[in-house]
Amino acid sequence: MAGPDTTGLLVECRDEPGILHRITDVILRHNANISYVAGGARRETVAELQLEVSGAADQARLIADIEAVSGVMHVGVVPTFQMIYGKRVIVIGGGAQVGMVAQGAISEADRHNIRGERISVDTIPLVGEEQLADAVRAVARLHRARALVLAGALMGGDISNAVREIREAGILVLCTSMAGSVPDAADVVVSDPVEAGVMAVMLIADTAKFSIEHVRGKRF
């Protein structure tokens, strides 16, 4: 996760083999650390890369050295995704219930974001054990993801295995009341999908005095 000394760099460069290697070599020579890298917009032979970098002793020199790399056309400083979008709540499951969870999460996030927090909400409606298990496991690989809400009528099997895996990776998992083994694997079970969204945001918000330790293992 991006820290207070992390700088976002937007690099406009030629879309060609080796360009990322040359850029990261410069960052290494500055003894800086890359906490995030992602491809952005592409047009013909030009691509954009967003890098989030910390630890450079001389940021201006680092930018100048990256701009000097063959194939790089421009380097700009941009806010990090942590500053703009903040922590992420991910909502996965059946379409109608996903929408209701999102309603609660978005309403609660709005309340905290007005007070200076940054929390965003991502959703995807999915069905099928394999598809859901793959999506759950992917949450642990998502940049800035902090909490997952599973919303549906029946989830179990490998989905429950995936839930336990991402909890070990530090993701909080809430689910709606449903049949199957997922409620036994989740941190918290919330019957009302709107309230499940609200609680997910409250659990990760710095502006809320609400700890997972108060509710872990409980059903509401």
CB 128 within 8 Å of CB 93: no
pLDDT at position 220 is: 75
Say if strands 172-176 and 188-190 run parallel, antiparallel, or are unpaired.
Answer: parallel
Q: Does domain 85-214 have CATH number 3.40.50.10550?
A: yes
Q: What is this structure's pTM?
A: 0.84
Say whether pLDDT at 117 is over 80.
yes
b/e sequence 177-194, b meaning 16+ C-beta within 10 Å? ebebebbebbbbbbeebb
Average pLDDT score over residue span 30-53: 89
CB 38 within 8 Å of CB 74: no
The model's pLDDT over 137-158, given as tens digits with 9 standing for 90+, comes to 999 999 999 999 999 999 999 9
Question: Residue 71: CB partners within 8 Å, gap ≥ 6?
Answer: 13, 14, 16, 18, 19, 22
Delimit the domains of the chain by residue range.
Answer: 7-80, 85-214
Residue 215's SS3 state is coil
CATH topology of domain 7-80: Alpha-Beta Plaits (3.30.70)
Query: Which candidate, 207, 212, 204, 162, places its Cα nearest to that of 187?
Result: 212
The model's pLDDT over 55-81, given as tens digits with 9 standing for 90+, comes to 999 999 999 999 999 999 999 999 999
In the chain, the amino acid numbered 117 is E
Question: Residue 28: CB partners within 8 Å, gap ≥ 6?
Answer: none
Say whether pLDDT at 214 is over 80.
no
Alpha carbon of 10 to those of 21, 53, 84, 121: distances in Å?
16, 11, 14, 24
pLDDT at position 188 is: 94
Tell me the Cα Rg of the chain. Answer: 20
The model's pLDDT over 24-41, given as tens digits with 9 standing for 90+, comes to 999 999 999 999 998 877
pLDDT at position 45 is: 85
Say whether pLDDT at 87 is over 90.
yes
